[in-house]
Structure 1
Amino acid sequence: MSTCTRPDCGGTILDGFCDECGLAPATTQAPPTTNGASAAVAHSGTLAGSSRAGSARQSRRGSSRSSSRSTRTARSSRGRLGAGLVSIPQVPYRDPSTAVMADPQVPEHERFCSNCGQRVGRGREGVPGRTEGFCRNCGTAYSFTPKLAAGDLVAAQYEVLGCLAHGGLGWIYLARDRNVSDRWVVLKGLLDTGDADAMAAAVAERQFLATVEHPNIVKIFNFVKHPDPRTNEPIGYIVMEYVGGASLKELRSQRDAMGGLQPMPLAQGLAYILEILPAMGYLHSQSLLYCDFKPDNMIQTEEQLKLIDLGAVRHMDDEESAGFKTDGYCAPELEDQGASVESDLFTVARTLAVLTFNFDYRGTYRYTLPPATEVPLLAQFPSFRRLLERATAADPNERFGSASEMAEQIIGVLREVVAAQDGQPRPALSSVFSGERKVFGADPEQWPAIPAPGVIAAALPVPMVDPTDPAAGFLATTSIGDPRQLVAALQAAPVSSPEVTLALIRARIEAGDIATALGELAAWEESEDADWRITWYRGLAALAGGNFTAARDAFDTVYGMLPGEAATKLALAAARECAGDHDAASRLYFQVWRTDHGYPSAAFGLARTRLQERDIDGAISAADSVPASSSHHTAAQLAAFGAQLAGGSGRYLVAAGNRLEALALDPEHKAWRSIEVLDAARGLTAVSPGEPGATVLGHPFADRDLRRALESQYRELARLSSDKLARRDLVNRANAIRPVSWV
């Protein structure tokens, strides 16, 4: 094993690839094959909707200031399809001899002119369309017939067995490599040999695709030429590995009982995209853009996923070569601005949408998403909706800036989805936010009041410090509880840096100096280091200052940027609760707590907001979900006790009494809680006698019995009190509540 040599990584090289960034080290060699043959790739594709995007203009690299930082990398899930969260059905390896097409034809509805995009080769009045000819619109020649036949020997090395499929740039043939142990290989040629741009794209592939090395990307072995049987002109063919399996398009082609296309389960779709993103990130790290990502171009065989059909791959700075795109998947700016990392990630998100729900992605919603009112899945999983919305934003600068950044948020959304499906939390540490600094809303003495806004702001997670910041070491050793003293310490920091600025802003907010904090945020927004944290801290300042509407809007924006982070949902829930929107706050608290029990504030917030909505059982259930192993278990039990008291009925009061007896509280606290239960029971008996035989804390629901019990508790408190005046007051209360007697 060795250490990854890529900047800012530090992972370990295992099997030729880094276990942290998922990439091959800069000096790595191609991994050896087994038994002389590569691990291989079945090809399935379609020409439908695939067209040239024109010459690239200017490739955009980097994100806007509002975009989240993309300096961190996501841990590769290579070899672990499903990321350890989802069980993905295996796709059996497909015997290549059974994969050859018996009658290789391009369906008429998939025939388009390579130059102008008009329909060609279409039949009329029952007469089939021609597979070869000229476009009526622009005169460009077209040909949709295979150029290789079974038995052809290409480059005196590759024996053709037949056609496997057709893709955006050409026919795909199965062949045997006679020079390397008769291994199965795939030959990809040009679909339309009259297309000079397509030929140029194939030539470009020869120059750099053979150097691409990633376990989730098809391996290019060779580039050869073979004469066209009609014109005798040489045609280029790319030789690549064969993988027997099924494309995600095929896996998505299942039909429901009504004959409609059945979407893939959301967790499975997310897992597939999470698996392929490191491959996209690898291409981007090599200054390459994939350009034409879609379900056709991902193949699963057994437990492995491969990215295939590299025909549209291009260099980021290539402004001359013709680009290729597929309607319904491509970004809207391709014609004017050219391809970019952001446009690649746009296609990834569109693919995820197509895999997981049905919508008119090539028509009404060609570049946009349908509203949640039309797609129940988007309404059920708002974090998933926000993930898609960010990745497909109209402005490329508002999208994810890197594949690793997108992967970080997808895995957070995946954890949320899986937890919702089976009810089991899926906790994980965030690389973007710290955990809760304090638990807010857990003080039994203040239950069920909403904590003070400043208390909530000081308890919420904070964005992680960039380890590359020059003051990272200083900040790691600066731990001062008093925010005013912390302000002074940060002002005297030995070095000025973005992280010091943000820490100072946070300290000012906690010290109550909101105006100064907002002024410093405005100044920092003009710097080159500005990013999404400006919006986060504006939300924090608004929350601490009591401007709950502004806080809600700011945190809602950050949630849209980072939909997989629990911290964004927790902050938004708190802002909504403070603003009085208990229903929306409750749903957000539930999302956080159901996914990760590492945020107890969410459990208390959930119980509190459900109680506000008069969902007594829901509030009790939320409080009871805090596990016994938690240091906040007793506080949660007292919250459940408070919810039962609020329930008011005899059933709830009996349960409250039973809960209280089981709690290990000191005698004084237990006596005061007992008085609350007994007093509520006495108030109930004035209206209803209660259930026959029911008792609360061992006493019947009768006024005389409850008075005696209350008297006993007050006298017990008097004995425990060390204050003479307090003791006298408690004795007077005992005398006042005792039942009337002749003695």
Structure 2
Amino acid sequence: MVGPYRIVGRLASGGMGWVYLGRSASGRALAVKVVRPEFAADAEFRLRFAREVDAARAVSGAFTAAVVDADTQGDPPWLATLYVPGPSLAEAVRADGPLTESAVRLMAAGLVEALQAIHAAGVVHRDLKPANVLLAEDGPRVIDFGISLFGAAANTITQVGTVMGTPPFMSPEQFRGEVAKQASDVFSLGAVLAFAATGVAPFGSGVGVMYRIIHERPALDGVPEALRPLLERCLAKSPQDRPGLAELLDDVLPRETAPEAPEPEPAPDPAWPPPAVAEGIRVRTDDLNARNHSRGSVMSVPSCLLLHAQTLLDAGLTDRMVAEAVGRGGF
């Protein structure tokens, strides 16, 4: 149990904690983010986590995952949001390759609306990247406000020498340690859309990515020609040269003009969700339904042992220590 929620599986893990699939007493599926013990003991990290919760709660919109519950003073601290049974953009592209132009445009429209809701709440996300974009049946969802700026903090400069974000999707001003305002999220959006269309970040990754983002043009050769001008504007070096979100929405989904003569009814466009994404959603939904309708314990004992062992490994313990813990029934 985490708070009042029963844990039925593990969704992901990262440097700061784990994300579990949880279930409320009524059966509602939730994504429960739990902070690692070593960070939970850090008062400064707890404050940062509380700010993440405040930022996530402040945002409402069709394309973000709503906060359901949280305990920032818990041991460990945790945050519960609605569960989105779909893969991340990073997973989808890694498994099935780049999205079609139609799918990229539809996803872009959803991400623009998500950023509009985020910015309207006084939040700057600062970490928009493929792993933080979930692909749901009715559009994308932006998640993870772990390094977002909210309220008064949104107008302050990051502590000198501190660079926060995911390098291939960070804006030039983030690398320079300047104030990351709304235009910074627009830059990251351009990089995310380029990744969705090509399978690679527009400035690459690894050594030299900071220099390329600050000084060089993005590599957009694989982006559909009709999308390139839009992404080039999003990826402008100067924040003032990037388009606003309302303008972006018009460009992503241009208004259609009535044809001069009647034309045959076009076939339905199966752009969203992409077929592979739809299959991933179906598999996740079937698994969730199976868990919801199971009787007794929600996981078999082998699953519990495997989950516990993987959790211990994530915490940096050795195989021998994990085996001893599981052998003692220490879970």
Q: Which bracket does the TM-score occupy, shorter chain normalised?
A: 0.5 to 0.7
In 2, Cα distance between the equivalents of 1:240 and 1:222? Answer: 7
Q: In structure 2, which of residues 239, 258, 275 is the aligned counterpart of residue 396 of structure 1?
A: 239
In 2, Cα distance between the equivalents of 1:193 and 1:321? Answer: 24
Question: Hey, what does 1:154 align to over in structure 2?
Answer: 2
Question: Hey, what does 2:318 align to over in structure 1?
Answer: none
> Does the residue aligned with 1:333 lie in a helix, a strand or coil?
helix
The answer to whether 1:332 aligns with 2:206 is no
Contact kept? 1:354, 1:361, Cα under 8 Å = no
Q: 1:269 to 1:200 in 2, by over 3 A?
A: same
The within-5 A match list for 1:642-657 is none
Contact kept? 2:158, 2:177, Cα under 8 Å = no
- The gaps in structure 2 that reach 5 residues or longer are 263-331
Q: 1:200 to 1:387 in 2, by over 3 A?
A: same
Residue 406 of structure 1 aligns to which amino acid in structure 2? Answer: L
In 2, Cα distance between the equivalents of 1:206 and 1:628? Answer: 54
Q: In structure 1, which of residues 164, 188, 193 is the aligned counterpart of residue 38 of structure 2?
A: 193
In 2, Cα distance between the equivalents of 1:238 and 1:321? Answer: 24
Residue 250 of structure 2 aligns to which amino acid in structure 1? Answer: E
The answer to whether 1:313 aligns with 2:155 is no
Shift of the alpha carbon at 1:404? 1.7
Contact kept? 2:197, 2:222, Cα under 8 Å = no
Q: In structure 2, which of residues 108, 113, 119 is the aligned counterpart of residue 284 of structure 1?
A: 119
Residue 398 of structure 1 aligns to which amino acid in structure 2? Answer: D
Question: Hey, what does 1:184 align to over in structure 2?
Answer: 29
The within-5 A match list for 1:160-171 is 160-167=7-14, 169-171=16-18
The within-5 A match list for 1:202-601 is 202-224=49-71, 234-254=75-95, 262-315=97-150, 317-318=152-153, 319=156, 324-334=164-174, 335-359=176-200, 361-363=204-206, 366-367=212-213, 368-371=216-219, 375-377=221-223, 381=225, 383-400=226-243, 402-412=244-254, 426-427=256-257
Contact kept? 1:169, 1:198, Cα under 8 Å = no
Aligned residues: 247
Q: 1:168 to 1:343 in 2, by over 3 A?
A: farther
In 2, Cα distance between the equivalents of 1:245 and 1:353? Answer: 21
In 2, Cα distance between the equivalents of 1:235 and 1:190? Answer: 6
Residue 345 of structure 1 aligns to which amino acid in structure 2? Answer: V
> Does the residue aligned with 2:253 lie in a helix, a strand or coil?
helix
Q: 1:251 to 1:200 in 2, by over 3 A?
A: same
Shift of the alpha carbon at 1:270? 1.9
Contact kept? 2:34, 2:77, Cα under 8 Å = yes
- The gaps in structure 1 that reach 5 residues or longer are 1-152, 228-233, 256-261, 416-425, 429-596, 598-626, 630-743
Q: 1:249 to 1:337 in 2, by over 3 A?
A: same
Contact kept? 2:71, 2:78, Cα under 8 Å = yes
Shift of the alpha carbon at 1:276? 1.9
Residue 325 of structure 1 aligns to which amino acid in structure 2? Answer: G
Residue 188 of structure 1 aligns to which amino acid in structure 2? Answer: K
Residue 238 of structure 2 aligns to which amino acid in structure 1? Answer: D
> Does the residue aligned with 2:20 lie in a helix, a strand or coil?
strand
Question: TM-score with structure 1 length normalisation?
Answer: 0.31
Contact kept? 1:190, 1:236, Cα under 8 Å = yes
> Does the residue aligned with 1:154 lie in a helix, a strand or coil?
coil
Q: In structure 1, which of residues 161, 164, 172 is the aligned counterpart of residue 19 of structure 2?
A: 172
In 1, Cα distance between the equivalents of 2:131 and 2:252? Answer: 21
Residue 410 of structure 1 aligns to which amino acid in structure 2? Answer: V
Contact kept? 1:190, 1:198, Cα under 8 Å = no
Q: 1:336 to 1:163 in 2, by over 3 A?
A: same
Contact kept? 1:392, 1:399, Cα under 8 Å = yes
Question: TM-score with structure 2 length normalisation?
Answer: 0.66
Shift of the alpha carbon at 1:628? 6.8
Shift of the alpha carbon at 1:205? 2.7
Shift of the alpha carbon at 1:184? 2.0
> Does the residue aligned with 1:336 lie in a helix, a strand or coil?
coil
Shift of the alpha carbon at 1:338? 2.0
Could you tell me the percent identity over the aligned residues? 24
In 1, Cα distance between the equivalents of 2:194 and 2:15? Answer: 21
In 1, Cα distance between the equivalents of 2:166 and 2:196? Answer: 15
